[in-house]
Amino acid sequence: MAKKTYDKAFLGDMYKKMQSARKFEERVQWLFAQGMVHGTTHLGIGEEATAVGTIMALGENDYVFGTHRGHNQGLTKGLDVNEMMAEILARKTGCCGGVGGSMHIADPTKRYFGADGVLGASAVMANGVALAIKKEGRKDEIVNLFFGDGTFNQGGTLEALNLAGIWKLPTLFVCVNNTYGMSTHISRVTAETDLAKRGPAFGVPSINVDGNDVLAVYEAVKKAREHVLTEGPMLIVENTYRISGHSKSDGNLYRTKEEIESWKQKCPIKRFAKYLTENGYFTEEELQKIADEAQAEIDAATEFAKASPEPDMAAALDSVYVK
C-alpha cells in the first residue's frame, strides 16, 4: 500500500499543538512550584498525542467533554491560551472568571465542556448532548467524550456506554488509557486490561490505538467519527502512559524510575518529530522554530495571567446556585 502523505501545513499545525500542550504543562508545573496555583492540578505530559490526534480529527461543531487531565484537550479545542493560563492563576480574565481553576477549565462557546469532579458523570452528560443532537436531527455533529482507564470502572461510564449503544447516540467514547488511576496500576483493578473488549458487550464497536502515535490516533478518530455520524457510538482506547505524577502531591512511590524513563523514550512529540524529519516534511531547524513559537505564546500567556486582576470578592457567589 502506498504510504499516506499529508499536507505540510496540517502537520506543522499538529506539531505546534503538541508543543503548545507540552510547554503549557511545563509552565503550570513551574507556577505550581512557585506557589502560584491554588488547589491542585493534573498534568498530561506524555499524553499530548491523545488530545491533539483526537480533536484535530473532529469537526469544528463537535462537542468535547474533557478530563481532569485536560489542559491539552482545552488548548487543542481552541480555547484561548491567555484565558486558560489566567484561569489556572485564578484571575478575573480566566475562561471561567478565575473561579474554576485548573480542573474546571471550560468554554461552552467553543463547545468544550471541561471535567466533572465526579468521575463518570461526564459520560452521562455527554450522552445528554448526543441525545439532543439526535432528536434535533443535526447532521454533522458528534460528542467526543474523553475519560481515563480508572474512570472506565465507574458505573456512570458503563451505564452511558450501554445507553448510547441501545439508543444509537452520536457519542464517541475515547478512553485515554494511561495505565494508572492515581497510584494504582490498571492490572490491579481489572482482570481484563484490554479495555477495547468492553464495547462489544454493549453492541458498541471498539478499537485499540497506539496513543503515543499522533497520526494513528488522528486516522482512527477520523474513521470512527464517520461511523458515529452514520451508525452510532464507538469506543476508541488510546493506549499511552502518564509520565506526570497523578497530581502535585504524588511522590511516585508506586512505580520505578526505570518504568517512567522507558516511557519518556517513547515521548509522542519526539516520535512525531522523527517522523516529520525522516519523511522530509520539516528540517530540525524548522521544528525548533515551531517549538519556539509555541514557547513564546506560553510566555505571553503567563505574563497576561500574572498582570490580570483577581476576581472581586463581592462576586464570589454570583455563579453559585442558591435556592
Ligand X SMILES: Cc1ncc(C[n+]2csc(CCOP(=O)(O)OP(=O)(O)O)c2C)c(N)n1
Summarize as ranges the residues that interact with Mg ion (CB under 5 A): 148-150, 178, 181
The option from ligand X, Mg ion, none interacting with 244 (CB < 5 to 8 A, set by class) reads: none
Q: Considering the rule CB under 6 A, would residue 54 count as an interface residue with ligand X? A: no
| Residue tagged 491542585 (cell numbers) | 40
Name the one range near ligand X by CB under 6 A: 118-126, 166-174, 218-226, 306-314.
118-126
CB nearer to ligand X: pick between 117 and 137: 117
Name the one range near ligand X by CB under 6 A: 130-138, 177-185, 262-270, 296-304.
177-185
Say if residues 155 and 121 touch (Cβ distance below 8 Å). no
Q: What angle do CA 226, 232, 234 make, to 5 degrees?
A: 75
Q: Which amino acid is at 68?
A: H
The option from ligand X, Mg ion, none interacting with 27 (CB < 5 to 8 A, set by class) reads: none
Smallest CA-to-CA distance from 45 within 252, 276, 283 is with 252
CB nearer to ligand X: pick between 53 and 150: 150
Please give the residues from 213 up to 252 whose contact with ligand X meets the rule CB under 6 A.
242, 246
Say if residues 142 and 224 touch (Cβ distance below 8 Å). no
CB nearer to Mg ion: pick between 80 and 149: 149
Q: Considering the rule CB under 6 A, would residue 259 count as an interface residue with ligand X? A: no
Say if residues 113 and 66 touch (Cβ distance below 8 Å). yes
C-alpha 62/C-alpha 71 separation (Å) is: 18
- Least distance (Å) from ligand X to the CB of residue 277? 30
Q: Considering the rule CB under 6 A, would residue 66 count as an interface residue with ligand X? A: no
Q: Please enumerate in sequence order all residues whose Cβ is within 8 A of that of 158, keeping only pairs 6 or more positions apart, or say none.
A: 152, 198
- Least distance (Å) from ligand X to the CB of residue 73? 11
- Determine which residue in the list 117, 137, 251, 280 makes contact with ligand X, applying CB under 6 A: 117
C-alpha 204/C-alpha 198 separation (Å) is: 8
The option from Mg ion, ligand X, none interacting with 118 (CB < 5 to 8 A, set by class) reads: ligand X
Q: Considering the rule CB under 6 A, would residue 68 count as an interface residue with ligand X? A: yes
C-alpha 51/C-alpha 67 separation (Å) is: 10
Q: Considering the rule CB under 6 A, would residue 69 count as an interface residue with ligand X? A: yes
Smallest CA-to-CA distance from 318 within 96, 95, 37, 110 is with 96
- Least distance (Å) from ligand X to the CB of residue 136? 31
**Per rule CB under 6 A, count of chain residues that contact ligand X:** 18
